[in-house]
C-alpha cells in the first residue's frame, strides 16, 4: 500500500511539473515586440532598456511566420533604411525587455558563415521595398537550430493580429 501511495504521489508530481514544458507558452507576452540593435552601454546608468530601439511594434504591419518576412509601415521602412547598419552588427528580437533571440546583419556579397538568424543589409530579392526577411542563417543550410521559431514570439504576434 505504501509503495502504491509513493508511486501515485510521484506520478502526480510528474504531471504537474510537466505542465511547464519550457516552451514559454505560459509566460507573459506583454510588452512591445521590437527588433533592437546592440545592447545600450548607457543601460547600466539607469536607462529603462538595455537595447537601442530600431524597429518597434508600431512600425510592423504584418509578420509572415512561414518565411519570417516583415512588412513595415512607411515610417518603419524609413527608420530601417536611414540607420547606418554595418555588416555583422547584432540585432535582438524582443518582447518588452525580454530577448527572444539575437542575430546579425550580413552582406550576401561576402563569404562567411553565420549560424544565427540574419538580415541582409542589401535587402531581399523578390520582396517589396517595405519588406525584409529574417533568414535562418547564412548560408541557411549551415545554420544551427532555427531560433526564429519561438512560440512565445508567435503567440505575441498572434495576440496583436500581426501574423499574416
For the stretch 116-136, pLDDT in tens is 999 998 877 789 989 999 999
CA distance 98 to 60: 18
Q: What is the pTM of this model?
A: 0.76
Residue of 7, 111, 48, 157 whose CA lies nearest to 134:
157
In this structure, of 44-53, 55-64, 65-74, the range with the lowest mean pLDDT score is: 44-53
The neighbouring-strand residues paired with 92 are: 36, 102
Amino acid at each position: 500500500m505504501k509503495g502504491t501511495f509513493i508511486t501515485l504521489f510521484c506520478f502526480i508530481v510528474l504531471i504537474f511539473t510537466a505542465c511547464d514544458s519550457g516552451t514559454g507558452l505560459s509566460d507573459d507576452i506583454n510588452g512591445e515586440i521590437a527588433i533592437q540593435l546592440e545592447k545600450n552601454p548607457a543601460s547600466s546608468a539607469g536607462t529603462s532598456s538595455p537595447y537601442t530601439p530600431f524597429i518597434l511594434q508600431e512600425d510592423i504591419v504584418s509578420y509572415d511566420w512561414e518565411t519570417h518576412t516583415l512588412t513595415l509601415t512607411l515610417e518603419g521602412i524609413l527608420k530601417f533604411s536611414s540607420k547606418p547598419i554595418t555588416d555583422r552588427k547584432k540585432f535582438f528580437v524582443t518582447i518588452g525587455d525580454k530577448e527572444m533571440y539575437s542575430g546579425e546583419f550580413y552582406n550576401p556579397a561576402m563569404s562567411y558563415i553565420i549560424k544565427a538568424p540574419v538580415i541582409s543589409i542589401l535587402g531581399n530579392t523578390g520582396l517589396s521595398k517595405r519588406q525584409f526577411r529574417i533568414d535562418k542563417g547564412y548560408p541557411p543550410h549551415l545554420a544551427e537550430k532555427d531560433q526564429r521559431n519561438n512560440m512565445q514570439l508567435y503567440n505575441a504576434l498572434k495576440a496583436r493580429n500581426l501574423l499574416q
